[in-house]
Structure 1
Amino acid sequence: MGVNPNTVGAAYRVLRDRGVIETAGRRGSRVRSAPATTGRDHIHVEVPEGVRDVSSGNPDPALLPPLAGAFAAAAAQGDGAPVLYGDVAVEPELARLARAGLDADGVPDGPLAVVSGSLDAVERVLEAHLRPGDTVAVEDPGWGRTLDLVPALGLRTVSVRVDDEGPLPDGLRNALEAGARALIVTDRAQNPTGAAVSAARARALRSVLRAHSGTLLIEDDHGHGIVDVPLHPLAGATRHWAFVRSAAKAYGPDLRIAVLTGDRVTVDRVRGRQRLGPGWVSRVTQRALVRLWADGAVDAPAVAAAYGRRRGGLIAALAARGVAAHGVSGMNVWVPVPDETAVVARLLHAGWAVAPGARYRMSAPPGIRITVSTLMEDENGPLADAVASALGPGPARSYV
């Protein structure tokens, strides 16, 4: 075709880097098939009848508020006049209350959007800035849906290890120096480890991010309303950032609603793309959330204390049996183990269904996730006994 071979080679490199094609030496190159969307959901435990399920990751239904009254009041608002095409996308009172809460937590000022949950926000922000083949730094262990979403968008992942205070600064620095263009961080109630970014860790992470100010920063605060640790946001350390606060854990997953703020370019792009798709998140749902907020339907300190007692009780019971565990916030406890498959199987045989860590990790060592949201105090001892027995005899165990 008369094209310079160097141009052809460069084009193939771009296509390969963007994840469009894959090369196989002498067998040539081929267009990659669409990324799998089934994700890690297949890595789960079937819970037989009579087995106690502590694997789900769901909040305690008893701590969720009833929704019927809030929706009835929302539907009747404005004399029940319907919301039509062309109306504003964000309920004004929701924007006011959300902004007040963000201001109180030190999140920088920025425009607001309303999206259908945390993962919807993460997807929209990534697509607003990145192209297939770009690399995203993700927590490891981290939320399995995020670990699935990034490659499903044609993006690459690089893992950043996590401890109880959040992502490790050196790991983040290495990821950014290797070319990662974005970072996704869970500020509190990190799934699956329960990590919460501390003040000292936030300062260290902001320092790393300022040195790479072109990084797209996405912060997930889905733990708002169920945690008793302060927020230490990283927002503002880079030019482009997004901060999302979901109502799912405190008010119920079926609300499918979250508030997103960020720099003007990012939020404008999200809003613009949203207009071309769903248009807006139901204003009735937005009004219902406003009513729940205004009525104090969730006693956040009491909910956080309840989850804290359940986490602390299990962690203490495990420690008494020489088993190290993690969980400084949220509704999950992470237990490092030497062999996930064996431990999960032994626990199932003993009457306990836990989540295998493979759903939540890339290169991090093995572990299991235990959801404590409905765990009763008298269950701590039997569950800790079963975990210790599944791990086998030995001195205090800490697999890192």
Structure 2
Amino acid sequence: MDTAWLAQRIADPSARGIAAALTDLIREGTVTAQTRLPTVRGLARELGVSSGTVADAWAELRKHGMIRTERRRGTVVLGPPEVPRPIRYERLGHWGDRLAIDLTIASPDTALLPPLEAALAAAARADGLNDYARATITPRLRAAVEPDWPFHAEGWLAVGGGYEAVQLLCQTAALPGDRIAIEEPTGARLLDILERVGVQIVPVACDEHGPIPGALEKALRARPVAFVYQPRGQSPCGHAVTPARSAELAELLEPAKTLIVEDDGIGELSVSPMVSMGARFPGRTVLVRSYSKSHGPDLRIAVIGGAADAVERVRVLRSFGTGWTSRILQDTLAHLLGDAGVRERVAHAREVYARRRARLAAELAARGVRTGGGDGLVLWVPVHDEPAALVTLAAHGISVAPGSRYVVEPAAAHHLRLATARLTDDPDELSALADVIALAATGGRRLSAAT
């Protein structure tokens, strides 16, 4: 593309104006796919602006999938803007219908979920239904969750699931270009969310006890507006933050003004006690607790409890859309939480999930593959070569999630994430499964200590 030709079609030489002008040209077909754009410096010189202004415009176009920068060809046009997609989450596995064992998605075992009929019927008979008054959280649900909350929450809100809660908290805490610190590895969907929000992701390395203090200290130098982590049942690694580690992290967060977002993704299914920083920082900590895996995915409910300002910002943003979560679903969950039989059923599910995870971990350890972690519904499995391991497992009819989807930058060590909630309870079948996973993990080699 001729630099002068493009410059003549840009009336507003700001970053927003440059991006808007090129977007119009791409939409109307004047600029077609595979067109090579001028260099940042060349266009900046022609427009009489800084290179940073053009680079910001290119970044905006890149975010919407309209251009791509290639090493040799420079920056080329891909086409009209696309609907943003959760790329990492959507690519967790597309192996066709022939695979017999799906260990990709950490979904609950439906046989272990409590029945919903009685709870739904009771909730449908509640007073105050079909009223457009927006209920942040129903009195019954708040009364059911508040006694087990690990700190005094200033604000409460029921939303449509854990990831929606985390997305809304990040979206309302950060402006595009702000920084948010997250533990790494972390949830693939969380990485998709943060990229969509337009923030800079600051990774915090973890070990068996959660985020490493030194890594958090380094991340805080970037002045992130929020720190998002999972205190227990961490996905994908399965670690849980200990009281000692939490105290170390709190010391580092004390002088900062960073919002602390605690994602309790599996809630009552965790075998680890909840250790929250909310008791120390009630005015800047928000806990998100999801009930989808413990009480039913179709309830689509998570509860946000914590810092009043952060919760209120989420409430205001939701008022542009759904406004509130169905009172029927909220009180259905409240009924389940208050039912002694349901509590026993959830406790039984917790034991079953822990046993399935531990058995596969033990089988793999016996074959020289040590997974680490002791909580959650997944295993983080070290492998010699991720692509080769995926192919080996697929050839045996097994689908898993590639570990590269859970990190910001390519990691030195390769991993796979295996969902364990629906594993077989048959010892022989589990042994055969472990044989294949170990074969895929080692590729016939001994894994090094670094993995």
Tell me, yes or no, whether TM beats 0.5.
yes
Q: What is the deviation of 1:181?
A: 2.0
Out of 407, 419, 431, the residue aligned to residue 371 of structure 1 is 419
Q: 1:223 aligns with which of 266, 279, 283?
A: 266
- Cα distance per residue 1:288-315 (max 9 Å; x no partner): 1011111132433322211111111111
Per the alignment, residue 330 of structure 1 pairs with 376
Give the count of matched residue pairs: 377
Aligned counterparts of 2:106 and 2:336: Cα–Cα separation in 1: 23
How do residues 357-368 of structure 1 correspond to structure 2 at under 5 angstroms?
Answer: 357-363=403-409, 364=411, 365-368=413-416
Quote the Cα distance in structure 1 between the aligned partners of 2:381 and 2:99: 23
Contact 2:108 2:293 in 1 (8 A): yes
Aligned counterparts, 1:1-400, within 5 A: 24-28=40-44, 29=54, 30=57, 32-33=60-61, 34-35=63-64, 36-40=84-88, 41-78=90-127, 82-86=129-133, 88-102=135-149, 106-212=150-256, 214-235=257-278, 236-237=280-281, 239-296=283-340, 297-299=342-344, 300-363=346-409, 364=411, 365-377=413-425, 378=427, 379-390=429-440, 391-395=442-446, 397-400=448-451
User: CA separation in 1, counterparts of 2:301 and 2:326?
Assistant: 9
Q: Distance in 2 between matches of 1:345 and 1:393?
A: 14
* Residues in 2 aligned to 1:362 and 1:256: alpha-carbon distance in whole angstroms: 28
Closer, same or farther: CA 129–354 of 1 in aligned 2, 3 Å: closer
CA gap 1:87/1:395 in 2 versus in 1, 3 angstroms = closer
Change (3 A) 1:129 1:384: same
Unaligned stretches of 5+ residues in structure 2 = 1-13, 20-38, 45-53, 65-83
Q: Which runs of 5+ in 1 are unaligned?
A: 1-10, 17-22
Residue 109 of structure 1 aligns to a residue in which SS? coil
Q: CA deviation at 1:338?
A: 2.6
Query: Following the alignment from structure 2 to structure 1, what is the Cα–Cα distance between the partners of residues 129 and 333?
Result: 18
Please report the TM-score for the alignment, with normalisation by the length of structure 2.
Answer: 0.78
Q: Given residue 431 of structure 2, which amino acid in structure 1 is its aligned partner?
A: G
8 Å CA contact 1:344–1:356 kept in 2: the answer is yes
**Over the residues paired in the alignment, what is the CA RMSD in angstroms?**
2.3
Which has more radius of gyration? 2
Q: Give the residue type in structure 2 aligned to 1:148.
A: D
* 1:217 alignment partner, SS class: strand
CA contact (8 A) 1:322 1:397 kept: no
d(CA) in 2 for partners of 1:352, 1:276: 43
AA matched with 1:211:
P
Q: Which amino acid aligns with 2:169?
A: V
* Cα distance per residue 1:98-143 (max 9 Å; x no partner): 11110xxx32332211111111111222222221100111121110
Percentage identity across paired residues of the two chains: 33
TM-score by length of 1: 0.88
- SS at the partner of 1:362? coil
> Post-superposition shift, 1:333?
0.5
Residues 215, 238 of structure 1: 8 Å contact kept? no
Q: State the distance in 1 between where 2:282 and 2:217 align.
A: 14
Deviations 1:122-174 (A, max 9, x none): 12222222211001111211101100001101111111112221111111111
* Contact 2:86–2:193 under 8 Å retained in 1: no
1:317 touches 1:384 (CA, 8 Å); kept in 2? yes
**Aligned partners of 1:288, 1:376: CA distance in 2, in Å?**
30
- Once the two structures are TM-superposed, the CA of residue 249 in structure 1 deviates from its matched residue by 1.1
User: How far has the Cα of 1:73 moved from its partner?
Assistant: 1.6
Is 1:209–1:238's contact at 8 Å kept on the other side of the alignment? no
> Are 2:134 and 2:323, in contact at CA under 8 Å, matched by a contact in 1?
no
